[in-house]
Homo-oligomer: A and B are copies of this chain.
Amino acid sequence: MIRAAVAGATGYAGAELVRLLTGHPAVQLTMITSRQFAGQRFDRVFPSMAGRVDLVLEELDDDRICAAADIIFTALPHKLPMKVAPEILKRGRKLVDLSADFRFNEAGVYEAVYQPHASPELLKESVYGLSEVYSSEIAAAGLVGNPGCYPTSVLLPLVPLIKDGLVDLNDIVSDSKSGVSGAGRSPSLAVHHCEVNESFKAYKVAVHRHAPEMETVLSREAGRPVQITFVPHLVPMTRGMLSTIYARPSGTLTAQMVQDCLTAFFAGRPFVRMRPPGAPPDTLHVRGTNYCDIGFVFDARNQRLILMSAIDNLGKGAAGQAIQNMNLMFGLDETTGLYQIPSAL
């Protein structure tokens, strides 16, 4: 059995990690930590798991967590993971970090968007955990920077097309929409039910920190700098993320070419599902799962390719993909522990 620990287990992504790791057939969840709830039983914070998770939340301690676990998931705010990572890796533990701290390979890029990096030397060895794109690198990695939810939803449909040179790199827009759980569990006016209900709005328009993350990956895959316009919106629902991506063809393009490109790229990858023509993806179809459903329309009249992807922001957009990456890192089938049958509602 793989011994696993979750640092930051009482945020929504952390709780989802606890759920998935508890049900994972090859894992024993040995330690969970929380600053705010240390000393309390996990199931008092999340009563849904009463009777199933009997762990008590602890303070995060390098020695103890490394003694307890073979792999550590850090679902902590930015800045904390880069402080604990060196100790964890030094002791030969694997680390999947769900913050932004290890999503970039160059400190300069990270620091332009976030803050000074405390462990820049680790960035060279960290692997970007977009499972379907970097499977082999992830399989060999000790440190994985798990992608942001928005980048996951935008990159999965875009990367294959960019690798194949099918889209114009100068005219890409992603209009993305997220459920409220993406904003985290800390109370604020922005997540107050009454402010969210019957509300739909954009936020951080063209200044969201996930845009540089997307651009870094797109530029790498394109072999030259790519900039995109990215506008996130908040949807009055709990879980789910939909990105509608607008691109122009780089040359002659047909719907069949797009279909072929995406189908080929995701062949053998069970967590990406192509939607049939005329049936756009829907966040309800992927709720609670690790799936990414992709659909598209090529509007020949306007020469515009419209890609749509739906994920669960806590699933494929966070905890699900983190587990998928763990599976890859330990040589397990990537679906292990993630393949519950989705429900209709």
Report if A282 contacts B (CB, 8 A): yes
Is the Cβ of B194 less than 8 Å from the Cβ of A302? no
Number of interface residues of A (CB under 8 A): 87
Known contacts A193-B192, A283-B198: A206-B173 contact under CB 8 Å: no
Task: With both chains docked as a complex, state the minimum distance between the C-beta of A273 and any C-beta of chain B, in angstroms.
Answer: 6
Is the Cβ of A285 less than 8 Å from the Cβ of B48? yes
Contact flags A156-190 to B (C-beta < 8 A → 1, else 0): 00000000000000010101010111000101110
Is the Cβ of A177 less than 8 Å from the Cβ of B236? no
> Would you list which residues of chain A between 232 and 266 have a CB under 8 Å from chain B?
233, 235-240, 242, 244, 246
What CA separation (Å) do A332 and B50 show in the bound complex? 23
B15, B228, B229, B284: which contacts A344 (Cβ < 8 A)? Answer: B15
Task: With both chains docked as a complex, state the minimum distance between the C-beta of A183 and any C-beta of chain B, in angstroms.
Answer: 9
Contacts of A341 in B (CB 8 A): 19-20, 22-23, 49, 52-53
> Would you list which residues of chain A between 292 and 345 have a CB under 8 Å from chain B?
293, 297, 299, 301-302, 304, 306, 308, 310, 314, 340-345
Assembly stoichiometry (copies): 4
Contacts of A301 in B (CB 8 A): 206, 227
Known contacts A206-B299, A238-B193, A299-B206: A52-B198 contact under CB 8 Å: no
> Would you list which residues of chain A between 125 and 179 have a CB under 8 Å from chain B?
171, 173, 175, 177, 179
Known contacts A198-B238, A198-B240, A200-B235: A189-B193 contact under CB 8 Å: no
Q: Given A194-B238, A198-B239, list of 19 further CB < 8 A pairs? A: A47-B293, A48-B284, A48-B285, A52-B342, A191-B194, A193-B238, A195-B284, A199-B237, A199-B282, A201-B310, A202-B308, A205-B297, A227-B302, A229-B246, A229-B302, A233-B244, A235-B235, A288-B343, A314-B345
